[in-house]
Structures are given as C-alpha cells and as structure tokens.
Amino acid sequence: MIKIKWTAVILLVVISINFTACQKKPLRLENPLNGRTTAVFNPNKTYGTVTDIDGNIYKTIKIGDQVWMAENLRTTHYRNGDAIPNVTEDSIWGSQETGAYCNYNNTEDLDTIATYGRLYNWYAVNDSRGLAPKGWHIPTITDWDRLIDYLGGDTIASNKLKEVGDLHWADSFESTNSSGFTALPGGWRYLSENTVQMRFYGAWWAMPGYNATSAPFLCLFFFDSKVWKGINFKVNGYSVRCIKDKN
C-alpha cells in the first residue's frame, strides 16, 4: 500500500514538472516568422536582440547613444496581450479611428511579413496599452532628429540608414547601411486606398501627434540620400521602428 502511494506521488511530481515546463515554453519557439527575414544586415556591426509580446525576435543596433530596432515591427498584439485588429478592407481602414494593422497588400506570405514588418495606423502607435516591447517606445521627433544629426544630417543620413543593394530597394543608389539601421522600403497604406510604394519608399511614425487628424512621420526614398520629414493622416498605415528607453 505504501509503495502505491509513493508511486502516485512520483507520478504527480513528473506530471507537474512537465506541465510547468510547457507553460514556460517561450513564445518565440513557436513564432513562424522568426528566422525568415531576408534583410541584409551590416556584417561589420554587432547586433543585439529584443523580443515582443508575440515572440518575434528582432535585431537591435546601437547608434551613438541610442539603441534601435534594426527591423520593422511585426507584432499583432499590444504589450498587455490585447489583439490589434487586422483591417483588410480599404473602406474600413480609411475611416478607422482606433488602433489597427495590416500586411502590405494583405499578404500572408511569411517571408514578406518577416522582412518588411507590418503597417500600423497612428492610433495603434499611440494606444496606451503599448505597441513597443517592454523597455522600448515609439520614437519621438526628437529621437529621430538625434539619430539623423548623428549620421550627418537630413541631406546625407538616408544612405547610412538604408539596407545595401537592390534586393529590397528598387535601386541600390549610394546606400551604405554604415549605421546598421537596415532601413527597408515597406511602403504604406494611404487613407482608403490599398497599400503602395513597397521597394520605393520606407515610412515610419513619430510621436507625438500634430493635431486631431495628423501626425509626424519620416520617409526614405530609394533614389535619394535625403531624409524626408512630414505630417500626414493618422489613418495612414506606416512601418514602425522602436527605440530603447533610457536607463
């Protein structure tokens, strides 16, 4: 009788250990996007990593006194675990005044999503539940300006930010990616229109908002060394890069 009791106890302990191990299994082991990016990173740079709520693992790069993601964001959840709506209909996207994301051309191709990331409206960027991973934030205008100034200013910084070659950009132009930032041309979604300009433009949101309907963004063009800064509709879909919080 005693032997049976001890056997039962041992069995329960084994089950408990196995269950706990399963519960603590990292999300990143199950994320199908990891390891699929075809981005060409700077081989002379040392990259770190950061993981988001979905288990996406991103390369990170230190540039000056800042640490940036070296890949575009691709999470489908806010930091607290709430899902971000995936809006595929153009008419709905153009009138959306709460957070949403889409894939370029509503693609489900994992290599494309892993490489270019997803597009988010500004309402997702500004949501209090947090779009960036813990310890990170959406860059402010000041954050972007510090990066651009460190790389030599508006007129030349684009070449130091963009991925080298024409694998993703429509033309390699004079890009060096000397910063390691590895900017990619993810295109955008404009108002109620479909996604456009992949391979030609990369566009990223900045904080804070400008007014009730508009917010700042930054844009790189494939055949240009300039960093373009502007203000456009919050309902647009742009890429997102995150920057690490200061300690």
Asked whether 200 and 186 are in contact (CB, 8 A), the reply is no
Calculate the average pLDDT of the chain: 90
Q: Is 7's pLDDT higher than 70?
A: no
| Inter-residue contact 220 to 158 (CB < 8 Å) | yes
Residue 37: pLDDT band (50, 70, 90) is very high
Tell me whether the omega of the peptide bond preceding residue 208 falls within 30 degrees of 0, making it cis: yes
Q: Checking phi first, is residue 52 left (phi over 0); if not, alpha (psi -120 to 50) or beta?
A: beta
Is residue 159 over pLDDT 70?
yes
Write the secondary structure of 4-50 as one string of H (helix), E (strand) and C (coil).
Answer: HHHHHHHHHHHHHHHHHHHHCCCHHHCCCCCCCCCCCCCCCCCCEEE
Domain regions of the chain by residue span:
32-244
The pLDDT tens digits of the residues spanning 186-208 come to: 999 999 999 999 999 999 999 99
Mean pLDDT of 224-231: 97
Strand locations in 46-146 (E): 48-51, 57-63, 66-69, 101-102, 119-120, 136-137
pLDDT digits (tens, 9 = 90+) for 66-102: 999 999 999 999 999 999 999 999 999 999 999 999 9
Answer yes or no: is pLDDT of 10 > 80: no
